[in-house]
Amino acid sequence: MATRVDGNPEEDVVVPLPEEQDEYSRLHPYPCDFCSRRFSKKSGLTMHMLSHQIERPHECNLCGASYSRKAELVEHMKIHAYAPIKTEEEEEEEEDEGKEFQREVARMRKDLSKDEVR
Protein backbone atom coordinates (compact mmCIF):
# COMPACT_ATOMS: atom_id res chain seq x y z
CA MET A 1 0.00 0.00 0.00
CA ALA A 2 1.65 3.27 -1.20
CA THR A 3 1.44 6.40 0.89
CA ARG A 4 0.57 9.60 -0.97
CA VAL A 5 3.33 12.21 -0.41
CA ASP A 6 2.05 14.87 -2.78
CA GLY A 7 -0.44 17.58 -1.95
CA ASN A 8 0.12 17.71 1.74
CA PRO A 9 -2.35 20.42 2.79
CA GLU A 10 -0.61 21.04 6.10
CA GLU A 11 2.39 22.74 4.43
CA ASP A 12 0.33 25.64 3.16
CA VAL A 13 -0.76 26.70 6.58
CA VAL A 14 -0.16 30.40 7.01
CA VAL A 15 1.30 31.15 10.37
CA PRO A 16 -1.00 33.81 11.78
CA LEU A 17 0.62 37.03 12.90
CA PRO A 18 0.38 37.67 16.59
CA GLU A 19 -2.69 39.74 16.05
CA GLU A 20 -3.00 40.95 19.63
CA GLN A 21 0.52 42.34 19.56
CA ASP A 22 -0.13 43.97 16.20
CA GLU A 23 -3.34 45.51 17.39
CA TYR A 24 -1.54 46.79 20.46
CA SER A 25 1.18 48.55 18.45
CA ARG A 26 -1.41 49.94 16.09
CA LEU A 27 -3.33 51.46 18.98
CA HIS A 28 -0.13 52.58 20.70
CA PRO A 29 2.00 54.12 17.98
CA TYR A 30 4.27 56.06 20.36
CA PRO A 31 6.98 53.83 21.75
CA CYS A 32 9.14 54.93 24.66
CA ASP A 33 12.86 55.16 23.88
CA PHE A 34 13.82 54.19 27.37
CA CYS A 35 11.64 51.20 28.05
CA SER A 36 9.39 48.95 26.05
CA ARG A 37 6.15 50.75 26.84
CA ARG A 38 4.02 52.18 24.07
CA PHE A 39 1.44 54.93 24.18
CA SER A 40 -1.70 55.70 22.25
CA LYS A 41 -1.26 59.45 22.58
CA LYS A 42 1.85 61.51 22.14
CA SER A 43 0.98 63.46 25.27
CA GLY A 44 0.89 60.19 27.17
CA LEU A 45 4.36 59.36 25.93
CA THR A 46 5.61 62.86 26.78
CA MET A 47 4.30 62.54 30.31
CA HIS A 48 5.85 59.13 30.59
CA MET A 49 9.21 60.40 29.31
CA LEU A 50 9.21 62.98 32.09
CA SER A 51 9.13 60.22 34.64
CA HIS A 52 12.22 58.77 33.03
CA GLN A 53 13.93 62.13 33.38
CA ILE A 54 13.04 62.30 37.03
CA GLU A 55 14.10 58.81 37.91
CA ARG A 56 17.66 58.23 36.85
CA PRO A 57 18.36 54.68 37.75
CA HIS A 58 21.78 54.49 36.13
CA GLU A 59 24.11 56.05 38.63
CA CYS A 60 27.86 56.46 38.23
CA ASN A 61 29.50 54.76 41.19
CA LEU A 62 32.57 56.97 40.80
CA CYS A 63 31.10 60.44 40.98
CA GLY A 64 27.39 59.92 41.61
CA ALA A 65 26.16 61.41 38.34
CA SER A 66 22.96 59.70 37.34
CA TYR A 67 21.35 59.11 34.01
CA SER A 68 18.00 57.89 32.85
CA ARG A 69 19.53 55.96 29.99
CA LYS A 70 22.17 53.35 30.44
CA ALA A 71 23.79 54.46 27.19
CA GLU A 72 24.27 57.92 28.69
CA LEU A 73 25.95 56.48 31.73
CA VAL A 74 28.22 54.37 29.53
CA GLU A 75 29.08 57.52 27.60
CA HIS A 76 29.73 59.35 30.86
CA MET A 77 32.01 56.59 32.17
CA LYS A 78 34.36 57.35 29.31
CA ILE A 79 35.44 60.58 30.99
CA HIS A 80 36.59 58.55 33.97
CA ALA A 81 38.65 56.38 31.68
CA TYR A 82 40.80 59.42 30.86
CA ALA A 83 40.73 61.16 34.22
CA PRO A 84 42.52 58.88 36.69
CA ILE A 85 40.35 57.83 39.58
CA LYS A 86 41.66 58.78 43.00
CA THR A 87 42.88 55.77 44.86
CA GLU A 88 42.67 55.51 48.62
CA GLU A 89 46.44 55.97 48.82
CA GLU A 90 46.28 59.26 46.99
CA GLU A 91 43.54 60.44 49.29
CA GLU A 92 45.69 59.59 52.30
CA GLU A 93 48.58 61.49 50.79
CA GLU A 94 46.36 64.51 50.48
CA GLU A 95 45.46 64.17 54.14
CA ASP A 96 49.16 64.11 55.03
CA GLU A 97 49.70 67.21 52.98
CA GLY A 98 46.97 68.88 54.96
CA LYS A 99 48.68 67.92 58.23
CA GLU A 100 52.00 69.12 56.85
CA PHE A 101 50.40 72.45 56.04
CA GLN A 102 49.01 72.71 59.56
CA ARG A 103 52.46 72.01 61.00
CA GLU A 104 53.88 74.73 58.80
CA VAL A 105 51.25 77.17 59.99
CA ALA A 106 52.12 76.24 63.58
CA ARG A 107 55.83 76.88 62.87
CA MET A 108 55.03 80.24 61.33
CA ARG A 109 52.97 81.16 64.37
CA LYS A 110 55.89 80.26 66.62
CA ASP A 111 58.22 82.40 64.53
CA LEU A 112 55.76 85.26 64.70
CA SER A 113 55.50 85.04 68.47
CA LYS A 114 59.32 85.00 68.64
CA ASP A 115 59.32 88.21 66.65
CA GLU A 116 56.86 89.72 69.06
CA VAL A 117 59.05 88.83 72.00
CA ARG A 118 62.07 90.37 70.39
The single residue among 32, 58, 69, 72 that binds Zn ion, judged by CB under 5 A, is 32
Stretch that binds Zn ion, among 14-22, 61-69, 83-91, 97-105 (CB under 5 A): 61-69
Give the nearest distance from C-beta 70 to Zn ion in angstroms. 13
Only one of the segments 7-15, 26-34, 82-90, 99-107 lies at the binding site for Zn ion (rule: CB under 5 A); that segment is 26-34
We find the least distance from the C-beta atom of residue 15 to Zn ion, in angstroms, to be 30
Question: Read out DSSP for the chain?
Answer: -PPP-S--GGGGPPPPP-HHHHHHHHH--EE-SSSS-EESSHHHHHHHHHHHHH---EE-TTT--EESSHHHHHHHHHHHHHSPPPPHHHHHHHHHHHHHHHHHHHHHHHHHHHHHH-
Using CB under 5 A as the binding rule, whether residue 71 contacts Zn ion is answered as: no
- Positions touching Zn ion (CB under 5 A) are 32, 34-35, 37, 60, 62-63, 65
